[in-house]
C-alpha cells in the first residue's frame, strides 16, 4: 500500500506539548529524540500541518466517568494545578503556527477535537501522516479513529514516541502485522521524498 501524498494529505501531529517534553509526571523522554524529525515535516508543509493539544480537565470533579478516576490519580496535571504554559506546543513546533493550525481536545483521540473533522473535510484530506506522542495512548487512539473514518494513514515510525519502549515496539508490530491495508509504517525521509 502506498497512499498518494499530494494536496489531499495533511500532517497530523499529536500533542507535542511542553507538558510531555519537560519534567512533569507525564514526561516522555523520547519527545526530544523525535522532535527534529517532526519539525522537518512541519517545516516542509506548515500550511498542511495540524497540531493537537491535549487539554486536561479543570479538576478531577469536573471530569466524568473513568476520566474522574484518571484525574484523581493525576491531580497535579489538572488545569487547576498545572502551569498553563505547559499546555503550549514545544517552541520548535509552535513557530510554525500560523500557517499550521492548532486544535484542542480533552480525550486521547485527536478526532475528539470538535474542529478536526470539519477542517479535514473542508481541505479535502484523504491521507494523514500521523506523528507525535504517545505511540500507545493518544497516537494510538488517533490512528484507530482515522482508520475507522476511512483515511489513509501513514506513520513515520521515527516521528512517534512513548514513555514505554515495550508498548511502543508492540504497537509498531501491531501496525505492520494487523493493519497493513490501512496503516503504512514509513520514515520521515520516505514521506518527504514522496510528498513534494
Domains along the sequence of the chain with CATH: 9-194 (3.40.50.850)
Q: Supply the pLDDT for residue 157.
A: 94
Q: Supply the pLDDT for residue 180.
A: 81
pTM (predicted TM-score): 0.94
Extract the residue ranges of the chain whose pLDDT is less than 50: none
Q: Supply the pLDDT for residue 172.
A: 86
> By C-alpha distance, which of 49, 52, 53, 51 is closest to 9?
49
Q: Supply the pLDDT for residue 1.
A: 54
Q: How far apart are the first and last CA of the chain?
A: 19
Q: Supply the pLDDT for residue 90.
A: 97
Q: Supply the pLDDT for residue 26.
A: 93
Q: What is the DSSP letter of 3?
A: -
DSSP reduced 3-state for 141: helix
Amino acid at each position: 500500500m502506498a497512499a498518494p501524498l499530494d494536496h489531499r494529505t495533511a500532517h497530523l501531529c499529536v500533542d507535542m506539548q511542553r507538558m510531555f517534553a519537560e519534567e512533569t509526571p507525564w514526561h516522555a523522554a523520547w519527545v526530544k529524540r523525535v522532535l527534529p524529525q517532526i519539525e522537518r515535516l512541519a517545516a516542509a508543509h506548515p500550511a498542511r500541518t495540524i497540531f493537537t493539544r491535549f487539554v486536561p480537565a479543570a479538576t478531577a470533579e469536573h471530569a466524568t466517568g473513568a476520566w474522574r478516576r484518571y484525574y484523581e490519580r493525576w491531580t497535579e496535571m489538572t488545569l487547576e494545578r498545572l502551569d498553563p504554559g505547559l499546555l503550549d506546543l514545544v517552541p520548535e513546533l509552535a513557530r510554525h503556527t500560523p500557517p499550521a493550525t492548532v486544535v484542542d481536545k480533552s480525550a486521547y483521540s485527536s478526532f475528539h477535537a470538535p474542529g478536526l473533522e470539519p477542517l479535514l473535510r473542508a481541505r479535502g484530506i484523504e491521507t494523514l501522516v500521523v506523528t507525535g506522542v504517545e505511540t500507545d495512548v493518544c497516537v494510538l487512539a488517533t490512528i484507530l479513529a482515522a482508520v475507522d473514518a476511512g483515511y489513509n494513514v501513514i506513520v513515520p515510525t521515527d516521528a512517534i514516541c512513548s514513555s514505554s519502549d515495550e508498548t511502543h515496539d508492540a504497537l509498531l508490530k501491531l501496525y505492520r502485522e494487523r493493519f497493513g491495508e490501512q496503516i503504512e509504517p514509513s520514515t520521515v525521509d520516505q514521506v518527504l521524498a514522496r510528498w513534494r
